[in-house]
Chains A and B, each alone.
Chain A
Amino acid sequence: EVQLVESGGGLVQPGGSLRLSCAASGFTFSNYWMHWVRQAPGKGLVWVSRIKPDGSSITYADSVKGRFTISRDNAKNTLSLLMNSLRAEDTAVYYCARVSGLWAFDIWGQGTTVTVSS
Chain B
Amino acid sequence: QSALTQPPSASGSPGQSVTISCTGTSSDIGGYNYVSWYQQHPGKAPKLMIYEIIKRPSGVPDRFSGSKSGNTASLTVSGLQAEDEADYYCCSYAGTNNWLFGGGTKLTVL
- Would you give 30 A-B contacts (Cβ < 8 Å), ordered by A? A37-B101, A43-B104, A44-B3, A44-B89, A44-B103, A45-B40, A45-B46, A45-B91, A45-B101, A45-B104, A46-B3, A47-B91, A47-B98, A47-B99, A50-B99, A59-B97, A61-B98, A102-B48, A102-B55, A103-B34, A103-B52, A103-B93, A104-B48, A104-B51, A105-B46, A105-B91, A106-B51, A106-B57, A108-B45, A110-B45
Contact B93 A106 (CB under 8 A): no
Q: How many residues of B contact A (CB 8 A)?
A: 25
Contact B36 A44 (CB under 8 A): no
Minimum CB–CB distance from A65 to chain B (whole Å) comes to 11
Contact A106 B89 (CB under 8 A): no
**Distance A17 CA – B91 CA, assembled complex (angstroms):** 29
Q: A44-B103, A59-B98 are known; give 7 further A-B pairs, CB within 8 A.
A: A44-B101, A45-B89, A45-B91, A46-B3, A47-B98, A103-B34, A106-B48
B interface residues with partner A (beta carbon < 8 Å)? 3, 34, 36, 38, 40, 45-48, 51-52, 55, 57, 89, 91, 93, 96-104
Q: Which residues of B contact A108 (CB under 8 A)?
A: 45-47
Closest chain A residue, CB of each to CB of B6: A44
Q: Which residues of A contact B104 (CB under 8 A)?
A: 43-45
Interface of chain A residues 37 through 86 with chain B (CB within 8 A): 37, 43-47, 50, 57, 59, 61
Contact B98 A104 (CB under 8 A): no
Query: Of A59, A103, A110, which contacts B36 at CB under 8 A?
Result: A103
**Distance A93 CA – B51 CA, assembled complex (angstroms):** 23
